[in-house]
Structure 1
């Protein structure tokens, strides 16, 4: 075995340990009782697997003055993420399709401005968006936080679909036009069925970004729609005497399970979408 290959394996092993060790500590800590945790043996397996911390985190952990567990934030995240992903992916696909084939006047300038807006930090837009949402009556509402996620997700999703559609031969589009197909028929019956791998890629990017969001949910969601990440923060920072590290770890794992499951279940489609043009310019 050459020195280069040994170095590669050492690098890969280091990368795996960098991510796997904290995950291992979180999992075993969530399965221990507080008496075991106080022993300070963070790498030791639990003597008796105890799921009570997971049950408490889901149903009874305190997020401030309310002790209803992280399940409230879970369902809020579901109500926010699913429509925001669906709308942003569809609108981004329409934008990418229009910018790739129809080439309307000013499309290059529009695309440039869209990409430039994606490079500006979120914090710059917060105050203007708060004022705009308040004027529209959407501030601190479910519709408002969904709209904000759609707006911030459009540049990336548009770029992904635009770069995918430009790899499709233009002759296919021209043949459909000769046969009398219009804008929407070409998109719905030809382009979108061909772009299933890219739909999966864009949906995964959007889903994980929205599900893991903290700042936008904190500012725009309102008290009745706080997503799971904010509820997790409230659980970790709410103390009534003893700090329950096993409950905190269980709540953290519950928050991360959904995006992890999506990546594991859709990994093959994700790789296909990336290879099919997600990162082509």
Structure 2
């Protein structure tokens, strides 16, 4: 009966822990990361211009298609929000001038910077592409590392806040400078969390101010549902589940040990 009581208490620990986590989970909609519409053919229309620097970057949201008409050699800047636990993939497409107007190969590059203007490395993707004179478009992509809720001051980890997208040509014949091009940029966001979640949090997201920005422009630099943060993450659920399993394993081992020591149990041969 004593063993049965221990087992019953251990089994009841799971619902109790889940109940303790429920209030935090119930608050999730207020601080949860957004679930934007997927980009691609179903992406919604976004801004139709681009900035020429960090301070004038045009804001857009994941799931939107941002476009701009420009000249070859221009630096094009956009900015989008990314929150903790998200993995961002940025894609860019450049429609090139007619081959008869061009004089050789052109190399285009897509760079992504965080709110501190630190260039972020791409986990994978084609960040730089050289296109032949006969090509009609240049396609580029960059998938960032998962955004972390906190990091050491010396680390270059992606943190919640603004992410700047810069698109430009980095190599081409001199005579091709100034030719008209049309650029399109879009971003997909995937909520990862789980194994990469951490319990740290920033005091404020890395969102630099914009000189002369309107209220709508400032709001566009934050996720639609606000910034996530605080002590709660889904790792607490896995921690609680692991504690329950460890308790059950301990009780089971104790039961086996007690059973082997009772009269009638297994005894060593004489």
Q: What is the TM-score when the length of structure 1 is the normalising length? A: 0.26
Structure number having the greater strand percentage: 2
Q: What is the TM-score when the length of structure 2 is the normalising length? A: 0.26
Structure number having the greater helix percentage: 1
Bigger relative contact order, structure 1 or 2, given CA contacts below 8 A and separation 6+? 1
Which of the two has higher C-alpha Rg?
2
